[in-house]
Structure 1
Amino acid sequence: MEEIQSLIAELLSGDDERAQAAVKKIAGCGPDAIPPLKVLMESPDADTRWWATWALSQVDDPEVPCMLRPMLRDPEMSVRECAALALRENACEKAVPELVDAMNSPDAFLSHIAAIALAALGERATPSLIKVVEEGPHHAQLNALRALATIGDPQSIPALMKVLENDSVLMEYWANEGLDKIGVGMQFFQT
């Protein structure tokens, strides 16, 4: 525990290189590092919450991905972005509602990485991504289409086909990419 406390001090040193080195060592401590990191994730200081979120995401424990969920609702944008980035590598199906909210955010980076995190869930995220395509703001629709194209789930065919009627070249592009990945592409238009 003493080692973890000294690593936490390095994590919060204010020096990004030292903090990143501490993250790697904290991850090596495994589940023992989780309790102090969870405490730091509740700090009033946004930088502390950011580093705690990132460090937690590097700990190899099956419970970690779902522990990142609350950070997607953090008041600080950079912490939300960090959590979405972490969930890209640590998929958590329970985080789908928070990731969809993040994808609908006006922040372009957050929206993009939330979509990537949803794509990492594969077919489990398809229904939520389809809903964003149908109801979300334009930038979120584009990110959802990109994610659906990455996943290539046949469930998305009707939504992708409907997008082809849209006037947006980018939306049409990603719909075609998704249809091609699924293996239908232009087959719908052959006579």
Structure 2
Amino acid sequence: MTSPSCSLTKAINGFQHHKSHYPFRHLLNKMKELLADLTSGDDARAEKAIIPLVELGKVAIGPLLELTRSQNEDTRWWAIRALSASPHTQTLDLIPLLNDSSSSVRAATALAIMNHPSEEATEALIKTLYDEDTLTANLASNALVKIGSHTTPSLLKVMEEANTNVRILAIRALAEIKDHRAIPVMMKCLNNEHESAVIQYWAVQGLDKLGLDMVYINP
């Protein structure tokens, strides 16, 4: 397994190709110090390094992305935590990390995408609704809500094809998105006496959020 120190060396080497308006040597030393804290294995030190790393701006993104390729799970998690906090992070760089072997890293990635919502993440997040880790799947649902109505067609397809647990996540997202295109599916759920009570609950919530105070159920 690659050690955090090896990953840190790669990250620093990549950083040296960046230019900055700060004196380069000072910036390089600061970056080394902060990345060392981030990968120290000490949660308090790592968390304290987040804001200063973000304040370094775009130049921190490359080294942090390099750390997401570390074989050390903790290093990958903290790199994603820092990327999540940075306004310079690109969603496209986060999407592949939803396939990480670690459920905690996948969950951190879904949370990071919540902070950087983009339509380009829709397909990957839909796939993540099926994740075996409940937290990761729930965070993927939340991220889809953040993206908004662009995700409605994909969520409606999930309602047609998926098992009950995944459909619960999908209809919860649809209820929060408040897209009128979901009304027929919500009505269908309420009219199905064999439907999951949880799914029916979210169908009612969704219709209420759309301003439909009275729901007509077929006899």
Q: TM-score, normalised by structure 1?
A: 0.93
2: distance between equivalents of 1:26 and 1:64? 16
Q: How much does 1:23 deviate? A: 1.2
Is 1:107 aligned to residue 104 of structure 2? no
Give percent identity, aligned residues only. 39
1:96 aligns to what?
Answer: 122
Q: TM-score, normalised by structure 2?
A: 0.82
| Kept after mapping to 2: 8 A contact 1:176/1:185 | no
Aligned residues: 189
Which residue of 110, 113, 117 maps to 1:87?
113
Is 1:20 aligned to residue 57 of structure 2? no
Unaligned runs of 5+ in 1: none
Residue 98 of structure 2 aligns to which amino acid in structure 1? L
Which residue of 207, 210, 218 maps to 1:179?
207
More helix by share: 1
1:141 aligns to what?
Answer: 167
Q: Pairwise mapping of residues 36-185 of structure 1 onto structure 2 (< 5 A)?
A: 36-61=63-88, 63-164=89-190, 165=192, 166-185=194-213
| Kept after mapping to 1: 8 A contact 2:187/2:217 | no
Residue 76 of structure 1 aligns to which amino acid in structure 2? S
Q: Which moved more, 1:130-139 or 1:45-54?
A: 130-139
2: distance between equivalents of 1:42 and 1:15? 20
Q: How much does 1:65 deviate? A: 2.1
| Kept after mapping to 2: 8 A contact 1:10/1:22 | yes
2: distance between equivalents of 1:44 and 1:187? 53
Unaligned runs of 5+ in 2: 1-27
1: distance between equivalents of 2:32 and 2:213? 55
Residue 189 of structure 2 aligns to which amino acid in structure 1? V
2: distance between equivalents of 1:141 and 1:8? 40
Runs (4+) of structure 1 moved beyond 6 Å?
A: none
Q: How much does 1:90 deviate? A: 1.4
| Kept after mapping to 1: 8 A contact 2:164/2:196 | no
Q: The residue matched to 1:186 in structure 2 has which SS?
A: coil
2: distance between equivalents of 1:184 and 1:172? 15
Q: How much does 1:47 deviate? A: 1.1
Q: How much does 1:187 deviate? A: 4.3
Q: The residue matched to 2:195 in structure 1 has which SS?
A: coil
Residue 180 of structure 1 aligns to which amino acid in structure 2? D
1: distance between equivalents of 2:92 and 2:217? 43
